[in-house]
Structure 1
Amino acid sequence: MSQLDNLFARWQVRALLVFGQRERALVRLDDMLNVNPADVYALATRAHVLAELGDKAGALQALQRQVAAQPGAAPGWFNLGYLSEEMGELDQAEAAFRRALDIDPKLDRAWYGLSLSLIRQRRFDEAIAALRKNTELQPMSPYGWYQLARVHVDREEPEEAAKIIRHLRGFEPKVAAQLERETGLVQPQA
């Protein structure tokens, strides 16, 4: 497939997706992969479409092929970790997130994903370390802080969770209030 043909095929896929023609887009993506089985764009897009259609196993296979074709790209490893974690494949998710972080240690969402996998495995010490890195990289995002507070509650460390709730109140009062309701750790208003 010439470079021009490849660009045209990508344009066709995008147009089909814009108009909600996912199945037809998959056919076009498969055509592209028949010509070039290591086409990272086609593999990544195929994984995304399959996941949207509920075919997580197919999406996982496409992501595995993508990281094999482009092992030095952190986003592919992150996507593999995310889908693996969602499917309950926690060892595979952890390995994929760690690989993404080996490539790009500042990929905050990979630290967050790693922490979720570790939490589900009840490996709280490692989860806390990953969440601290996530909140260091994204200090104004409530997601890492929320999970960090939940881990401290699970570890029966209410004073640490309360500190996080107070911190969140400064920039995400709704999340702080949600944590108070969920944990029963009501903080005095300043």
Structure 2
Amino acid sequence: MVHLSRMCTLVALLVALAGCASAPEPQGNSEILNLQAEAEYAYQLALLDQAETLYLEILRSIPNYAPAWFRLGNIYSRTGRLDAAILAFERCVELEPENQKALYNMALVRLKQSHQIISLARRQNGVDPQVQRQIDGLYQALLRLQQHTPTDSN
């Protein structure tokens, strides 16, 4: 279902960019299509800095293009910019509320953030042994959950 939604979004983007067949093609449309292809190619090759730059350039022209926000969320997550990843996935979901992949990836990022926070709490060496047991229990539960959770959805 999400695949169909993404495909429809891409088709709509292509139609919007291509315009009417009888009308002359605006010069920027082919540039956006080329940027999209380059961005996707860079993303697939894990050239994340390059892909990020290209997706941001696309969003300057088409700010409501959910697939670019989704890719940026993945890029930010993979490069450890978790707050930026959340913002990108939230924007994607605002534009495509049914996008389960974006919601799933947002949950994975929140798990990473939770792990960072609980790791910090473990290093505090608090004086309350009950709280320390709770922290350790949550830390272990997060570790188990992360071990059984696949990586982000492309």
Q: TM-score range by the shorter chain?
A: 0.5 to 0.7
The secondary structure found in structure 2 opposite 1:153 is helix
Distance 1:155 1:104 in 2: 31
Percentage identity across aligned positions? Answer: 24
Identify the match of residue 142 of structure 2 among 146, 154, 162.
Answer: 154
2:74 matches 1:82: yes
Distance 2:43 2:64 in 1: 23
Q: Deviations over 1:75-126 (max 9, x none)?
A: 2211111121112121211110000111111110010111111111117xxx
Assess if the C-alpha contact under 8 Å between 1:38 and 1:69 holds in 2. Answer: no
Identify the match of residue 93 of structure 2 among 94, 101, 112.
Answer: 101
Distance 1:79 1:48 in 2: 9
Aligned to 2:107: 115
Assess if the C-alpha contact under 8 Å between 2:111 and 2:142 holds in 1. Answer: no
- Runs of at least 5 residues in structure 1 that lack an aligned partner in the other structure: 1-5, 8-34, 124-150, 162-177, 180-190
Distance 2:140 2:34 in 1: 42
After superposition, the CA RMSD in angstroms is 3.2
**Structure with greater contact order relative to length (CA < 8 Å, sep ≥ 6):** 2
Distance 2:47 2:81 in 1: 15
Counterpart residue type for residue 84 of structure 1: Y
The secondary structure found in structure 1 opposite 2:98 is coil
- Once the two structures are TM-superposed, the CA of residue 36 in structure 1 deviates from its matched residue by 3.0
Distance 1:77 1:38 in 2: 20
The secondary structure found in structure 1 opposite 2:52 is helix
Aligned to 1:39: 31
Q: Deviations over 1:48-84 (max 9, x none)?
A: 1122334210111001111222112222211111121
Distance 2:98 2:140 in 1: 24
Distance 1:101 1:85 in 2: 16
Within 5 Å, which residues of 2 pair with 1:52-63? Answer: 52-63=44-55
Counterpart residue type for residue 154 of structure 1: L
Q: TM-score, normalising length from structure 2?
A: 0.54
Counterpart residue type for residue 36 of structure 1: G
Counterpart residue type for residue 75 of structure 2: L
2:84 matches 1:72: no
Q: Deviations over 1:20-72 (max 9, x none)?
A: xxxxxxxxxxxxxxx63883322221111122334210111001111222112
Q: TM-score, normalising length from structure 1?
A: 0.45
Within 5 Å, which residues of 2 pair with 1:136-151? Answer: none
- Once the two structures are TM-superposed, the CA of residue 152 in structure 1 deviates from its matched residue by 9.5
The secondary structure found in structure 2 opposite 1:105 is coil
